[in-house]
Amino acid sequence: MTIAIKRAERDLTARELQVLVLIAAGGTDATIGAALFLAPTTIKSHVYRIALVLGTTTRTQSVAVAIRRGLIT
């Protein structure tokens, strides 16, 4: 379990962490994209990768796991 946590911390990029913080704040793909000057489809790709790295299936799970692991506050 500890290895997976360290791997997740290492594998999330700075941009993915930015997206994760904005998801936690309630952002949609469109609003996150506008805030970061990216297309909503790019945000969807980031959301998919975040879920893959964290081993989650929903945005809510991703945020909960990230908070538990101390990746976001």
Choose among 1, 17, 16: nearest CA to 70: 17
Rounded to an integer, what distance in angstroms lies between the CA atom of residue 30 and that of residue 35?
A: 9
| CATH number of the domain encompassing residue 9 | 1.10.10.10
User: Domain span at residue 36?
Assistant: 2-68
Position 10 pLDDT exceeds 80: no
Query: Is 36 a domain residue?
Result: yes
Query: Is 73 a domain residue?
Result: no
Query: Is 30 a domain residue?
Result: yes
Amino acid at 14: A
Instruction: Give the chain's mean pLDDT.
Output: 88
Query: Is 7 a domain residue?
Result: yes
User: What's the pLDDT tens digit per position in 38-51?
Assistant: 999 999 999 999 99
Query: Is 49 a domain residue?
Result: yes
pTM as predicted? 0.84
Query: Is 45 a domain residue?
Result: yes
